[in-house]
Amino acid sequence: MTILAPDVVVAGGGIAGLSAAIAARRAGASVLVAEAAPQALRGGNARHARNLRLMHDGPTDLMPGAYDEAEFLADLERVTEGETDRAVALRLIRASADIPAWLAGCGVSFQRPGGSLPPSRKTAYFLGGGKAVVNALYQEAARLGVTVWHEAELVDLTAEREPAIVIAYGGEPYTLRPGALVAAAGGHQADLDWLRRDFGPAAARFAIRGTPFDTGRALRLLLAAGARPAGAPGRGHLVAVDARGPRFDGGIVTRVEAIPFGLAIDRAGNRLDDEAADPARTHFAKWGRLLAERGDAVLILDAEGERRAPVPALEPIRAATLDDLAARLGLDAGALRAAMAAFNAKGGAARIATPPFAAIPMCPGLTFTHFGVEVDETMRVRMPDGEGAANLFAAGAIMAASVLGRGYLAGLGLTIAIASGRIAGEAAAQHSRSRDART
Ligand SMILES: Cc1cc2nc3c(=O)[nH]c(=O)nc-3n(C[C@H](O)[C@H](O)[C@H](O)COP(=O)(O)OP(=O)(O)OC[C@H]3O[C@@H](n4cnc5c(N)ncnc54)[C@H](O)[C@@H]3O)c2cc1C
């Protein structure tokens, strides 16, 4: 059996893990990143992401106006209904202020305001999207001399004075005794059995919007080692996605963006809600929850609605008449006609009148769950006595429920991941150094 002892092992090569690895390496630690995915699919869910939320006290070259820590915290407390650890949240919010400069130092570029970008005082957008960020961070990690193992999974953990961990890599179990472990292995949303236990039968219809490698194995290991849980099982961020999309990793491509332009009904023809009530982009989350509660549904559009809606990735199902559309969808034609008549009778901007008619089958798409481990302000994993474990750190989605017990704010996932990753990486390197000084 091979026993290795780098200063810091980072489990998970998503954006939190990469931030931790770079920060730890720059602080002088030797670092090994174990990433479960193969190289082409590495990087976790940041591959699908586009913007992040940043505190700033005045206009910057990326964002107009100001978004200070009080306003950021108030937004967070509002959406979480108070389910946030204030001290940890403030640490992350303050750390968000210099994320643009830190990322720029890793070779990441941002989009400048103007052009077709929606002006945003609270979030900034990456040039080239999240995939470009992941690629730049892997390049920076390599330049610094961080060792990266792909298709390498954390499969065992014993929390002692020094953590003993097992990484399955290339068909071999490697036992490692690092000075510190940073668990940055994402959430558990790709474990369908776990989802069924927490969300009930509705989970069988979920599409998992992100990586299939977030199986929650590391989270299970931390909980088994005594970590305090954060958030609540059975809570998650759900949006409406095209039910014909892939079960995993559909990203933002299959999200249904046409809801405000049509009529959303369940398979019995019952309207789910007011489609045009909330044209803000945040309406996606409401529809995900409705689809989870009410069962799968279909969005019906007419030719005018289709023309006004953003072009979807998957071609809608079309028919020249409503009866033909009902037949193609396996719906009762009378129920569809009645739903359409009631919808049109209500007035409002949208009407379903002009053929050809189109339909998009929808199902709930799970972005992440609100469940993980508790951390303290240095991202140490809190153990049963409430104290942070000396050598066990957590960053990103695996600890996000510490500050995001429910709800969501656009761009917050990446902010939590990068800020917590940097803090965890620096603290893990420091812990490792103090261990070296003792021995
Ligand atoms: C479709 C989609 C769009 C999004 N858009 C945005 C956005 O625009 N802005 C925003 O702020 N947030 C967005 N998010 C959320 C954001 O992507 C995540 O919050 C963030 O990427 C989490 O980063 P992470 O590194 O903590 O976890 P992840 O990205 O989940 O990465 C975890 C990594 O750990 C690896 N891993 C898992 N288990 C193990 C193990 N046992 N051993 C070793 N490795 C393991 C996985 O392969 C993965 O690479 C989006 C999410 C999705 C799904």
**Is the C-beta atom of 418 inside 6 A of ligand 1?**
no
Residues 180, 392 contacting (CB under 8 angstroms):
yes
> At which of 364, 379, 403 does a domain end?
364
Instruction: Tell whether 190 and 284 lie within a shared domain.
Output: no
Give mean pLDDT, residues 349-364. Answer: 91
Q: Is 121 helix (H, G, I), strand (E, B) or coil?
A: coil
Torsion of CA 305, 202, 199, 416, to 10 degrees: -30
State both tokens at 330.
Answer: 């396996």
**What pLDDT digit, counting tens, does each position of 245-260 carry?**
999 999 999 999 999 9
Residue 123 has pLDDT above 60, yes or no: yes
In the listed set 300, 334, 364, which residue is the last one of a domain according to the structure? 364
Q: Are residues 178 and 39 in the same domain?
A: yes
Q: Which residues pair with 271 in a beta bridge?
A: 265
Domain's final residue, options 304, 332, 364: 364
- The CA distance from 336 to 322, in Å, is 7
Q: Is the pLDDT of residue 202 over 90?
A: yes
Q: pLDDT tier at 438 (50, 70, 90 boundaries)? A: low
Please name every residue paired with 301 in a beta bridge, in sequence order, or none if there are none.
358
| CATH code at position 302 | 3.90.700.10
Shared domain check, 250 and 158: no
Looking at the domain assignment, is residue 178 inside a domain?
Answer: yes
Instruction: Please tell me the distance from the alpha carbon of residue 257 to that of residue 312, in angstroms, as a whole number.
Output: 8
In angstroms, the Cα distances linking 403 to 15, 172, 391, 421, 425 are 18, 37, 21, 14, 19
158 and 201 share a domain?
A: yes
Are residues 302 and 382 part of one domain? no
Choose which residue among 19, 22, 39, 45 to substitute to test ligand 1 binding: the one with the highest number of ligand atoms within 8 A of its C-beta.
Answer: 45
Token pair, residue 369, equals 């769950």
Cα 36 to its chain centre, rounded Å, is 17
- Give the Cα separation of 105 and 116 in Å (integer): 26
Q: Assess if residue 3 is contained within a domain.
A: no
Q: How many domains does the chain have?
A: 2
Look at residue 95 in the predicted model and tell me its pLDDT.
98
The answer to whether residues 161 and 297 belong to one domain is: no
**Per-residue pLDDT at 374:** 98
Q: Whose Cα sits closest to atom 13 in ligand 1?
A: 49
Residues 151 and 282 grouped into a single domain: no
CB 11 less than 6 A from any atom of ligand 1: yes
- For residue 45, the CA-to-ligand 1 centroid distance in Å is 3
Flag whether 1 is in a domain: no
Confidence of residue 4 (pLDDT cuts 50, 70, 90): confident
Whether residue 146 lies inside any domain: the answer is yes
Cβ of 207 closer than 6 Å to ligand 1, yes or no, is no
Residue 2 lies in a domain: no
Question: Tokens 């776990």 map to which residue?
Answer: 194
From residue 379, give the alpha-carbon distance in Å to each of 127, 205, 423, 426.
29, 34, 7, 10
Report whether residue 185 contacts ligand 1, using a CB cutoff of 6 Å.
Answer: yes
Q: Based on the domain organization, do 184 and 60 belong to the same domain?
A: yes
* Residue 45, number of CB atoms within 10 A of its CB: 27
322 and 421, same structural domain?
Answer: no
Q: Could you tell me if 374 and 335 lie in one domain?
A: no
Query: CATH number for the domain including 201?
Result: 3.50.50.60
What does the pLDDT look like over 337-354, one tens digit per residue? 999 999 998 866 678 999
Residue 192 has a pLDDT of 97
Q: Considering the entire predicted model, what is its pTM?
A: 0.96
- Please state, in angstroms and rounded to a whole number, the distance separating the CA atoms of residues 26 and 291: 46
- Show the CA angle centred on residue 4, arms to residues 3 and 7, nearest 5°: 145
Nearest residue by C-alpha to atom 10 in ligand 1: 411
What is the share, in percent, of the chain residues with pLDDT greater than 70?
A: 95
Q: How much distance in Å is there from the Cα of 320 to the middle of ligand 1?
A: 42
Q: Is ligand 1 within 6 A of the CB of residue 213?
A: yes
Atom 5 of ligand 1, nearest CA residue: 49
Residue 129: how many CB atoms within 10 A of its CB? 18
pLDDT tens digits for 136-162?
A: 999 999 999 999 999 999 999 997 767
62 and 131 housed in the same domain: yes
Model pLDDT for residues 299-323, shown as the tens digit of each residue: 999 999 999 999 999 999 999 999 9
How far apart, in Å, are the Cα atoms of 141 and each of 134, 171, 221, 241, 424? 10, 25, 26, 34, 16
Distance 285 CA to ligand 1 centre (A): 18
Q: Are residues 27 and 134 in the same domain?
A: yes
Angle between helix 129-144 and 15-26 (nearest 10): 30
Instruction: Specify the range with the lowest mean pLDDT, choosing from 207-211, 227-231, 264-268, 435-439.
Output: 435-439
pLDDT band at residue 116 using 50, 70 and 90 as cut-offs: low
**6, two tokens:** 């780098």
Residues 6+ apart with CB under 8 A from 278: 286
pLDDT for 356 beyond 60:
yes
- The response to whether residue 159 sits with its C-beta less than 6 Å from ligand 1 reads no
Least confident stretch, 162-176, 197-211, 227-241, 338-352? 338-352
Q: What residues make up the domain containing 196?
A: 8-236+369-437
- Residue 17 included in any domain: yes
Residue located nearest, by CA, to atom 15 of ligand 1 = 413
Q: Report whether residue 258 contacts ligand 1, using a CB cutoff of 6 Å.
A: no
Q: Is ligand 1 within 6 A of the CB of residue 405?
A: no
Question: How much distance in Å is there from the Cα of 259 to the middle of ligand 1?
Answer: 26
DSSP 3-state helix, strand, coil percentages of the chain (rounded to 5)?
35, 25, 40
Atom of ligand 1 nearest to the CA of 42: 49
Are residues 301 and 309 in contact, defined by beta-carbon separation less than 8 angstroms? yes
pLDDT of residue 114: 72
